[in-house]
Amino acid sequence: MPVRVRLFGEFREAAGVSEISVDAKNVGELLEKLAEECGRLKNLLFEGGRLRKYVSIFVNHRSILEQEEVETQLRDGDTVAIFSPVAGG
Amino acid sequence: MERYQRQMTIRGFGREGQRRLERSRVLVVGLGGLGCSASLYLAAAGVGSLVLVDPQRVEPSNLNRQVLHWDRDVGKPKTESAGEKLLALNPQLVVETRKEEITARNLVKLVEKVDIVVDGTDNYAARYLLNEVCLRSHKPFVHGAVEGFLGQVTTILPSRGPCLRCIFPRPPPEKKNTPVLGATAGLVGCLEAMETIKLLTGLGEPLIGRLLILDGESMHFEEVKVERRAGCPVCSVSGRGGK
């Protein structure tokens, strides 16, 4: 079930691509696959084996916090956006 | 009105749009890279009154991006330095300056008397406070932030769309001396000014429920659609957000 993953900011820089297609049944599996492919992404996404709290993940415009968090199910054609806030002013 | 002629001829803007700007009062919190650029364009556009808040004094390391503060201003309060330039640009402007940190206490009063709040801060403690007070006061909040070549902008309207906490539930780790290219801050500040002018005049489509992420390095501007979170601890508990 390929889903479209849009990466922004530091995630994009680490992966070297802005978009990637990944086969995953839920968000947790998707993140694991991204982490396996790229060590820098793994560090940006996880801390002590858990997803960093400030990483925003939206599946089809809805935050995963609003759904089942990393258990959020993915369907063919879903779009997942991964970004984190910048802070400077 | 001659000084505004070139914007009054924009379709839909006219004398009425200009009058709306003149009757408006905008709070700019933070006079760093974002606040300098945003307030400069709001003043030039003819916004009637600006309330400028910043507790800091100008330092040499500010000068690559905080374009209202010049070499001669090092050591001056940022509010004084910015206020002076904005009045020189547009003497019709009314400027109120507050050299103070925002707190839960003073912010309520500041927000009460303005139409819109512009984010010129550099940390999420201040941004979350602005988000919360603006929601409670039913005032629009235009958010911007930058780092390096990256920027983000969105507009929070209490009755529509998500709040800042819906989009960014937790702050990023604090960094001392975040790297920022002056042009990135200038660009994001301009976008914040544009959002503010659109809301004040009723023109265009504001960035409500849309986070604009821009990357100056690759020169990509992209939008992420973001919905309100029913479980958001700020806008759902308050019950002020509508749908």
Q: Is B234 domain-assigned?
A: no
The label of the residue with tokens 């858990």 reads A50
In angstroms, what separates the C-alpha of A43 from chain B's closest C-alpha? 14
Q: Is B154 domain-assigned?
A: yes
Q: Is B237 domain-assigned?
A: no
φ/ψ of B97, rounded to 5, equals: -115, 145
pLDDT of residue A86 exceeding 70, the answer is: yes
Domain tally, chain B: 1
Out of B145, B179, B220, closest to residue A89 by CB: B145
Domain boundaries, chain A: 2-83
The pLDDT assigned to B243 comes to 39
Q: Give me the CATH topology for the region A2-83.
A: Ubiquitin-like (UB roll) (3.10.20)
pTM score, whole prediction: 0.95
Band (pLDDT 50/70/90 cuts) for residue B159 is: confident
By C-alpha distance, the chain B residue nearest A53 is B170
Per-residue pLDDT tens over the stretch B164-205: 999 999 999 998 899 999 999 999 999 999 999 999 999 999
Q: Is B236 domain-assigned?
A: no
Q: Which residues of chain A does B33 touch, with a Cβ-Cβ cutoff of 8 Å? A: 88-89
The pLDDT assigned to A2 comes to 92
Q: Is B233 domain-assigned?
A: no
| Partner-chain contact B172 A9, CB within 8 Å | no
| CATH number assigned to the domain comprising residue B145 | 3.40.50.720
By C-alpha distance, the chain A residue nearest B167 is A56
% of chain B residues with pLDDT over 70: 97
Q: Is B196 domain-assigned?
A: yes
Longest dimension (CA), chain A: 40
DSSP letter for A85, please.
Answer: -
| Partner-chain contact B169 A86, CB within 8 Å | no
Q: Chain B interface, mutation test: which of A52, A84, A86, most B Cβ atoms within 10 Å?
A: A86
In whole angstroms, what is the distance from residue B166 CA to residue B101 CA?
Answer: 25
Q: Are the CB atoms for B99 and B81 separated by under 8 Å?
A: no
In whole angstroms, what is the distance from residue B144 CA to residue B122 CA?
Answer: 9
Q: Is B235 domain-assigned?
A: no
Residue numbers of the domain that contains B161: 2-225
In whole angstroms, what is the distance from residue A55 CA to residue B178 CA?
Answer: 18
- Orientation angle between helical segments B78-89 and B33-45, nearest 10 degrees: 30
The pLDDT assigned to B165 comes to 96
Out of A54, A62, A88, closest to residue B146 by CB: A88
The residues near B29 (Cβ < 8 Å, ≥ 6 apart) are B35, B53, B54, B102, B117, B118, B119, B120, B121, B126, B130
Per-residue pLDDT tens over the stretch B67-103: 999 999 999 999 999 999 999 999 999 999 999 999 9
Q: Does A51 touch chain B (CB under 8 A)?
A: no
Q: Does B222 touch chain A (CB under 8 A)?
A: yes
By C-alpha distance, the chain A residue nearest B123 is A87
Beta bridge pairs of residue A33: none
pLDDT of residue B232 exceeding 90, the answer is: yes
pLDDT of residue A76 exceeding 90, the answer is: yes
φ/ψ of A22, rounded to 5, equals: -130, 140
| Partner-chain contact B172 A65, CB within 8 Å | no
Per-residue pLDDT tens over the stretch A3-62: 999 999 999 999 999 999 999 999 999 999 999 999 999 999 999 999 999 999 999 999
CA within 13 Å, CB half, A39: 0
